[in-house]
Structure 1
């Protein structure tokens, strides 16, 4: 019984940590778009001097990538939560899942 509970707790942790590896692409694309677009207009960042294609091209690239990743991430996590946790889990599932997904990105920044 205790072993099954441990297994049920580890599945979402491992799945979201593994999702964090491909999540680096949409996170980076979002940051690149924001740092060269709206945040540069506010004066919070500086534009890349080599970036002369315009922001519409970046929106065409960023929106589908983020939407596809977010949709797959949400569907898989919803399936895991419904399949493994039939009763309401004792911890906040979605914030923990999002944090675990972002963890590899921040670790890569920290060590890179």
Structure 2
């Protein structure tokens, strides 16, 4: 086994926290589509009264943005998991990385 230093376990958390800053845009776009589409149909949210273009336009915008960010996020985390950590358990790693990525979005909601 390799000699692991304790700071190496904080590298994925820091990188995912920094990735969470640009992730605010795709997360917001997903929430906007859900709140004006399926969640509004269920009666859980109310639609934006100015939104009359339909959902297809939003899906054309949202799917490439979320797909590009998701691909980048997955590639960075797969690379980090192989290079930085020796043999981490897969489930806690991905849970911590996902939480660290969502943290800036929820901090922004809390401040705003």
| TM-score, normalized by the shorter chain, greater than 0.5 | yes
Name the counterpart of 1:23. 23
Deviation at 1:51, TM superposition (A): 0.5
Which aligned pairs between 1:2-81 and structure 2 lie closer than 5 A?
A: 5-81=5-81
Deviation at 1:86, TM superposition (A): 2.6
Deviation at 1:91, TM superposition (A): 7.3
Deviations 1:67-88 (A, max 9, x none): 1100000000000000112323
Q: Matches of 2:93 and 2:6 in 1, distance apart?
A: 15
Unaligned stretches of 5+ residues in structure 1: none
Name the counterpart of 2:109. 109
Asked if the contact 2:9/2:85 (under 8 Å) is kept, the reply is no
TM-score by length of 2: 0.91
Name the counterpart of 2:98. 98
Q: Cα RMSD between the aligned structures? A: 1.5
Deviations 1:1-45 (A, max 9, x none): xxx612211211110000010000000000000000111111111
Moved more, 8-17 or 95-104: 8-17
Q: Matches of 2:88 and 2:25 in 1, distance apart?
A: 32
Unaligned stretches of 5+ residues in structure 2: none
Deviation at 1:54, TM superposition (A): 0.5
Number of equivalent positions: 109
